[in-house]
A and B are shown apart, each in its own frame.
Chain A
Amino acid sequence: MTAAPSPELRLLGREIPYIEGPLKVSGRSEYTDDIKRPGMLVGKLLRAPWAHAKLLRVDVTKARAFPGVFAVLTGEKYPTPFGVLPITKDETAIAVDRARYIGDIIAAVAAQDELTAERALALVEIEVELLPEYSDPRVGRTRVDVPIHEKGLNHSNIQKEVVQHFGDVDAAFRDAAATVRVRASFAGVTHAFTEPQCTVAEATPDGRLTVWSSTQVPHYLHRALSEVLRLPMHRIRVVKPEVGGGFGGKSDPLPHEIACAALALETGRPVKILFDRDEVFLTNHGRHPTFNEVRIASTADGQLLGYDIEALIEGGAWSSFGTVTTYYNGVMAMGPYALPSFRYKGQRVFTNRPPSGAMRAHGGTNIRYSVEVGLDELAEKLNLDPFDLRSRNALPPHSTTVNEFRVTSTSFLRCLEAVRERSGWAEKWRRLPYGHGVGLGCGFYISGSNSPIHFTPKMPQCTVHLKADMDGGITVHCMQADIGQGSNTLLAAIVAEVVGVSLDRIHISPVDSDVTPVDIGSYSSRVTFMMGNAARKAAEGLRDRLLDATHQLTGYPRDALRVGVERYEVVHRPDIGATYLEALHQAIQSTGAVQSTGAYISPPVGGTFKGARAGTAPAYSFAAYVAQVAVDDETGVYDVEKVWAAFDCGRPLNRLAVEGQIQGSIHMGLGQFMGESMDYRGTRLMNPSLLDYKIIMPHQMPEVECLLVGEDDPEGPFGAKEAGEGPLVATLPAAANALYDAVGVRFYDLPVTPDRVLKGLDRRRAESRVWKGH
């Protein structure tokens, strides 16, 4: 069930196959590893075998002398710390004085081939003093012997602490007729994108450095390269070839990217670093391992009075996005319900394990799980249908949350109505036989972080340039990073829609900092909203030039003209007009190629208190999912049979892309729920391979029914909002609540593997608690 495509739009709102699809499926697309430069060397990284060690001596003399080796670098040459957030720069390209996790980079070599590089690395002589290892974030909250970073609060491993209180939570719990408490733990999970990280760098005799990299955010990489390598930005060119998935894992500037560029500077030769899969796992920057606790207070009829939340998230060795993540683990509990009071205490603690960072539905996934499971428990306690509890508390459109989020459009109630009806909830919930069940999970997510990460210089979050020349093609320049999510296609479709031309006239320029104006990258689900608005403005500028030219050709004033198909025509005399090419050729007579520009700057929203920016967005997406499961109660094996996914992304601009994002989000969410886990023993990652890290297989994927019921957002491009991350968060609690409906057991530790299901059933039986007659 979907809303009908808007009659006034020709292209947007329909199913638009990806424009790069034919190239990708025929193997013609160029990914970073496809780049081969004359004289290119192989770069390899020596990684620390210790979790925590002081580097006393790193002697690369023998490695440098090894035949076929062109350069060996250690940390001291480029020691400037960097990081994705300007306030927490603590990573280095190569470890300077300390190794902080198994896998930390100690040295980098450039050699004629891989074998030579590996042999050279084996010749590096290292003396270390082993330091105490910290693998448990709970331990790191108090004073420790050797903090992993000097800045840890009070000689602890705490990286960031957040305390927020809005309204009066104590009063809410005092006055509550019902309260619930959920305590949950979540294993770390990682992105597991298809394409391993890869970087190619080349320094040329004209004093310039070119870096091709598999990145989601070319602009932040550009800044980090400049800072660490001490080169002005205009002498560095960053190019983003096709990227085979990111999901947040390629949004930080990463040490190997800078090390690769440093090797290129050192050797004067092009250098390529391509990760092995275990290096991808060790680099991680995935979802934080988490402990959280959510207390919910409500009146007897289910009016929510407040949340009291604590979260402890494990940061691993570096800060990365962690300050943001720490805030998000609280504030992402805010919607989609109206809440009069809210208290949050969050801590992010360093450990000597691979760094955590941003991953799809960053900061919002684990807390959403605990909230939505808690609401299921609350509904049961109050003898309410879980749908009624949610709809009773839905945030109204055009409202402000207790922590001053500005909410504009929300179709959350429509989501609830649609998914309730399509899933057959009334006939199924608590009515299916034992072992079978349905569950509801809801969510919301930011449609773009309202604030850019960098504030200097002041500039738009996205700029789009268009150029239309005599050949009739329109070239679009923008640094937005298509990483497989379809942003190139959307960019082309918006321009084609507005200018009134066919899609094949649009050419998306490769992302190249020499050519494409800055966009701050593919993260926080910002691209559709911000790039979409910038593209629309740029396209309107071009359209207006073409309408002016039509005016010159026909004599009719611009406001009497309209955009047709490859044609501009008089509204009341459509037989009079000019074709697109006629108008374009008229327009270029005096100026040459027609150019136009569009930009997006987010509106000022949110409060003024410390941390008020975290979680603010120009719009929010909303979701209500129902999952249906079947459980084998002897083995604990279960099957998620179907998910009904009602989602409010405003107006979907490319239905294929939106449904693809929903399918992919459910796959990723169920992966975390059913089996994915960064499995550690102490500081050691046990499963750094795609065989042992259990992404779910196609056989485990449920049938998904997408219900796109959003209404137009007032500020989104053509009414659109995000659909890249919000579709994930509702998946996990929907599955958990369905398991409860099936077998009467709550699960508080993720992943919910079959052995854990069986233990839960054992507990229920030991309590002699009967569920559906069993």
Chain B
Amino acid sequence: MHLDPFELHRPESVEETVRLARDLGPGFDYLAGGTDLLPNYKMHLNVRPHLIALDQVRELQGYTPERIGAMTRLANLDADPEIARWYPALGEAVHGVATPLVRASGTVGGNLLVETRCFFFNQSFFWRASLGFCLKADGDRCHVVPQKEKCYATFSGDLAPALQVLGATVEVAAPEGNRRLPLDELYAADGDGIQRHRLGPGELLVAVHLPPEARRVRSTYLKLRPRPSFDFPELGLAAALTRDGDRLSSLEVAAGGLETYPRRFRSITEGFVGGTFTDDRIRELAAAIQAAVRPVHNTAYPPDYRKRMTGVFVRRAVRALWEGRGAS
């Protein structure tokens, strides 16, 4: 397999990047760690003639516990005991990404905006051509759920659910200036796997911000996958809560690897906040979230198994946090 020729741009500031992005229109991709994009390019998946490399863009580099630059390498976070101490869910999620080699290149921004995945999409050009192309690349139908309207490719980043339960916001640069938005709003909750984010044309993810409360919650991230490294999540479940005696004073649960976007279950969890929290309540919570999720058959494990594991993982994660111990 070969990479088709492309033109590489290496801007040094956000301003320059955003201007370049505006000038290039839709004909480019941002190149962060390249661990997912370049293999996809080799398979001729939505190849663009221009790549804007972000490794020289000053404002995207480096991190503090409050602000994590989008180009922060996952390996750097993984090696930092402060991250694991302040934000266990984030530390566990980062550590669970792929392999040490991928984490050495892979970035925070790249993982948040990683391309959605599907059996019928992540295949060689030959493979896809022989079946007939799909909605997500070069075609007009879905092979997972045969129809022509909607793509079911699965969101497969690890960091998003962990950062969602920690209440993260993201800093986005746009031609009109920077804006801040809750991480949830980075993703489209209308369930289409083609558009993996809601950034506008030329917009750039600059950094992730964590609020002070993120350090006060108990949090964890559990990952389901066939093998304990290398694999993308078949389910990535993050939970965070605070306990006040027998009272649950905050609760957040989010999951990736199940649907087209990382999903936070606020409408379910808010019904549990405030009251006393018992084992029965934990089971009710797990059952409600399990009932709400809709995985499809486009990853290694069958959807009924991933759905059932959602309930198990919610129960395990929340119970462990409630009891003040590690879940994994």
Contact of A49 with B129 in the complex, beta carbons under 8 Å: yes
- Does A332 lie at the interface of the complex (its beta carbon under 8 Å from any beta carbon of B)? no
Q: Which of A50, A686, A694 contacts B226 (CB 8 A)?
A: A694
Contact of B227 with A754 in the complex, beta carbons under 8 Å: no
User: Interface stretch among B61-69, B184-192, B254-262, B298-306?
Assistant: B298-306
Contact of B227 with A694 in the complex, beta carbons under 8 Å: yes
B119 proximity list for chain A (CB < 8 A)? 686-687, 692
User: With A692-B300, A754-B305 in contact, do A276 and B124 touch (Cβ < 8 Å)?
Assistant: yes
- Does A699 lie at the interface of the complex (its beta carbon under 8 Å from any beta carbon of B)? yes
With most chain A CB atoms within 10 A of its CB, the pick from B4, B227, B230 is B227
- Does B267 lie at the interface of the complex (its beta carbon under 8 Å from any beta carbon of A)? no
Within the complex, the shortest CB–CB distance from B163 to chain A, in Å, comes to 25
A49 proximity list for chain B (CB < 8 A)? 126, 129-130
Q: Name A692's closest neighbour in chain B (CB-CB).
A: B300
- Does A471 lie at the interface of the complex (its beta carbon under 8 Å from any beta carbon of B)? no
Within the complex, the shortest CB–CB distance from A284 to chain B, in Å, comes to 15
For B36-73 the 0/1 string (1 means CB < 8 A from A) is: 00000000000000000000000000000000000000
- Does A129 lie at the interface of the complex (its beta carbon under 8 Å from any beta carbon of B)? no
Within the complex, the shortest CB–CB distance from B36 to chain A, in Å, comes to 11
Closest 7 CB pairs of A and B: A49-B130, A755-B305, A699-B228, A697-B227, A694-B226, A278-B124, A114-B2
Contact of B301 with A753 in the complex, beta carbons under 8 Å: yes
The complex places the Cα of A698 from the Cα of B131 at a distance, in Å, of 34
Contact of B131 with A684 in the complex, beta carbons under 8 Å: yes
Q: Name A102's closest neighbour in chain B (CB-CB).
A: B130
Contact of B2 with A758 in the complex, beta carbons under 8 Å: no
Within the complex, the shortest CB–CB distance from A574 to chain B, in Å, comes to 56
Q: List 15 A-B contacts (CB under 8 A).
A: A49-B126, A276-B1, A278-B127, A636-B305, A675-B227, A687-B119, A691-B122, A691-B230, A694-B231, A697-B227, A697-B230, A699-B227, A700-B227, A758-B305, A758-B308
A635 proximity list for chain B (CB < 8 A)? 224, 309, 312
A634 proximity list for chain B (CB < 8 A)? 312, 316
- Does B178 lie at the interface of the complex (its beta carbon under 8 Å from any beta carbon of A)? no
CB-CB contacts below 8 Å: B225-260 with A: 226-231
Residues of B whose CB lies within 8 Å of any CB of A are: 1-2, 4, 119, 122-124, 126-127, 129-131, 224, 226-231, 300-302, 304-305, 308-309, 312, 316
The complex places the Cα of A555 from the Cα of B124 at a distance, in Å, of 74
Contact of B227 with A696 in the complex, beta carbons under 8 Å: yes
- Does A540 lie at the interface of the complex (its beta carbon under 8 Å from any beta carbon of B)? no
Contact of A697 with B228 in the complex, beta carbons under 8 Å: yes
Within the complex, the shortest CB–CB distance from A696 to chain B, in Å, comes to 7
B122 proximity list for chain A (CB < 8 A)? 689, 691-692
User: With A118-B2, A686-B119, A755-B302 in contact, do A278 and B126 touch (Cβ < 8 Å)?
Assistant: yes
With most chain A CB atoms within 10 A of its CB, the pick from B2, B124, B129, B300 is B300
With most chain A CB atoms within 10 A of its CB, the pick from B2, B126, B316 is B126
The complex places the Cα of A692 from the Cα of B305 at a distance, in Å, of 18
The complex places the Cα of A758 from the Cα of B311 at a distance, in Å, of 14
- Does A688 lie at the interface of the complex (its beta carbon under 8 Å from any beta carbon of B)? yes
- Does A436 lie at the interface of the complex (its beta carbon under 8 Å from any beta carbon of B)? no
Q: Name B311's closest neighbour in chain A (CB-CB).
A: A634
- Does A543 lie at the interface of the complex (its beta carbon under 8 Å from any beta carbon of B)? no
The complex places the Cα of A753 from the Cα of B304 at a distance, in Å, of 14
The complex places the Cα of A675 from the Cα of B301 at a distance, in Å, of 11
CB-CB contacts below 8 Å: A555-571 with B: none
A675 proximity list for chain B (CB < 8 A)? 226-227
Within the complex, the shortest CB–CB distance from A259 to chain B, in Å, comes to 17
- Does A47 lie at the interface of the complex (its beta carbon under 8 Å from any beta carbon of B)? yes
A696 proximity list for chain B (CB < 8 A)? 227
The complex places the Cα of A118 from the Cα of B227 at a distance, in Å, of 35
B312 proximity list for chain A (CB < 8 A)? 634-635
CB-CB contacts below 8 Å: A37-68 with B: 47, 49-50
Q: Which of B130, B228, B300 contacts A700 (CB 8 A)?
A: B228
A126 proximity list for chain B (CB < 8 A)? none
A50 proximity list for chain B (CB < 8 A)? 130
Contact of A691 with B231 in the complex, beta carbons under 8 Å: yes
A47 proximity list for chain B (CB < 8 A)? 126
The complex places the Cα of A688 from the Cα of B127 at a distance, in Å, of 9
Q: Which of B229, B300, B308 contacts A697 (CB 8 A)?
A: B229
The complex places the Cα of A634 from the Cα of B1 at a distance, in Å, of 42
The complex places the Cα of A699 from the Cα of B231 at a distance, in Å, of 13
- Does A115 lie at the interface of the complex (its beta carbon under 8 Å from any beta carbon of B)? yes
Within the complex, the shortest CB–CB distance from A105 to chain B, in Å, comes to 12
Within the complex, the shortest CB–CB distance from B131 to chain A, in Å, comes to 7
The complex places the Cα of A37 from the Cα of B1 at a distance, in Å, of 21
Q: Name B126's closest neighbour in chain A (CB-CB).
A: A47
B228 proximity list for chain A (CB < 8 A)? 697, 699-700
The complex places the Cα of A758 from the Cα of B301 at a distance, in Å, of 12
B231 proximity list for chain A (CB < 8 A)? 691, 694
B130 proximity list for chain A (CB < 8 A)? 49-50, 102, 684
For A685-715 the 0/1 string (1 means CB < 8 A from B) is: 0111101101011011000000000000000
B2 proximity list for chain A (CB < 8 A)? 114-115, 118
Contact of B301 with A755 in the complex, beta carbons under 8 Å: yes
Contact of B305 with A699 in the complex, beta carbons under 8 Å: no
A49-B130, A636-B305, A691-B230 given. 17 additional CB < 8 A pairs?
A114-B2, A115-B2, A635-B224, A675-B227, A688-B124, A692-B122, A694-B227, A694-B231, A694-B300, A696-B227, A699-B229, A700-B228, A753-B301, A754-B301, A755-B302, A755-B304, A755-B305
For A280-311 the 0/1 string (1 means CB < 8 A from B) is: 00000000000000000000000000000000
